[in-house]
Amino acid sequence: MTLKKIYFFLLEPYGPQGWWPLLECEGGNPTKTGAMNGYHPGDYSYPKTDEQRFEICVGAILTQNTSWVQVEKALQNLKQLRALRPEAMLKLELRKLKQAIKPAGYFNQKARKIKLFTAFYQKLNGKIPRREELLNVWGIGPETADSIQLYAYRQPSFVIDAYTKRIFSRIGICRENVKYEELQALFEKELKPDPHLYSEYHALIVEHAKRYCRKKPLCKECPLLSVCSFGQHKSSIRLL
């Protein structure tokens, strides 16, 4: 089973996801899980403004080790403070920043990460950052860097997260403890370098993991059961 075929297995039941959610977008969540607002299924023209791009970058940092529902609350707080612009973020008191992003957790570390990233962002002066440059910013790891590359700058950089490792190790495509760069290389080798495809695929992976491929999976109803080694093995044991 190829990665491209698995993509269509996921796209059929879930449909376009409309990631990255943005505060200005009026679209609802097509799958009704997680945050409810800001999605734009089938519209790949975002981000349309520098403010939207910066919002995606801040969101990518805030979503580390927390759910998007909590990130959305933090972003709404920053919006109320009119701080979702680089120049305003740099002027914002650290105390106020920490209080605003508290819903997203780890607010002391994340406040510092956002401040350092914002200084880096301003120096870009509109230039698309290289992945290596992003990784040199304190607090920006591979997943965050790739999320910024893909969703903020529409660069073909496939995002690997814990959900991706869980799903594709269960299918039998990789090891459970596969390295980030190894699995990313596998995706980027088999799929054409298309940011629309990459963003849609990543969003579908997240939705599928929340619906069926949980830590305790719901294999019986899973749309990937026919191609999943783990699910088939579990089903065969149940039949014995």
Radius of gyration of the chain (CA): 18
Mean pLDDT (the chain, rounded):
94
- Above pLDDT 70, what percent of the chain? 94
Q: Please determine, for residue 35, whether its predicted confidence score (pLDDT) is greater than 90.
A: no
What average pLDDT score do residues 63-86 get? 96
Q: Can you list the domains of the chain with their CATH numbers?
A: 3-215 (1.10.340.30)
What average pLDDT score do residues 17-46 get? 83
What average pLDDT score do residues 28-47 get? 80
pLDDT in tens, 128-143: 999 999 999 999 999 9
DSSP state of 102: G
User: What is the rounded distance in angstroms from the CA atom of residue 26 to the CA atom of residue 6?
Assistant: 30
Q: Please determine, for residue 234, whether its predicted confidence score (pLDDT) is greater than 90.
A: no
pLDDT in tens, 111-131: 999 999 999 999 999 999 999
User: What is the rounded distance in angstroms from the CA atom of residue 61 to the CA atom of residue 195?
Assistant: 20
Any residues with CB less than 8 A from the CB of 192 and at least 6 apart, and which? Answer: none
Q: Please determine, for residue 21, whether its predicted confidence score (pLDDT) is greater than 70.
A: yes
Q: Please determine, for residue 33, whether its predicted confidence score (pLDDT) is greater than 70.
A: no
Question: What is the structure's pLDDT at 233?
Answer: 78
What average pLDDT score do residues 144-156 get? 98
pLDDT in tens, 165-205: 999 999 999 999 999 999 999 999 999 999 999 999 999 99
Of 37, 34, 35, 31, nearest to 17 by C-alpha is 31
Quickly state the pLDDT bin for 239 (edges 50, 70, 90): very low
Do 20 and 202 form a contact (C-beta atoms < 8 A)? no
- Above pLDDT 90, what percent of the chain? 90
Q: Please determine, for residue 240, whether its predicted confidence score (pLDDT) is greater than 50.
A: no
Planar angle of CA 180, 201, 13, nearest 5 degrees: 135
Question: What is the structure's pLDDT at 37?
Answer: 79
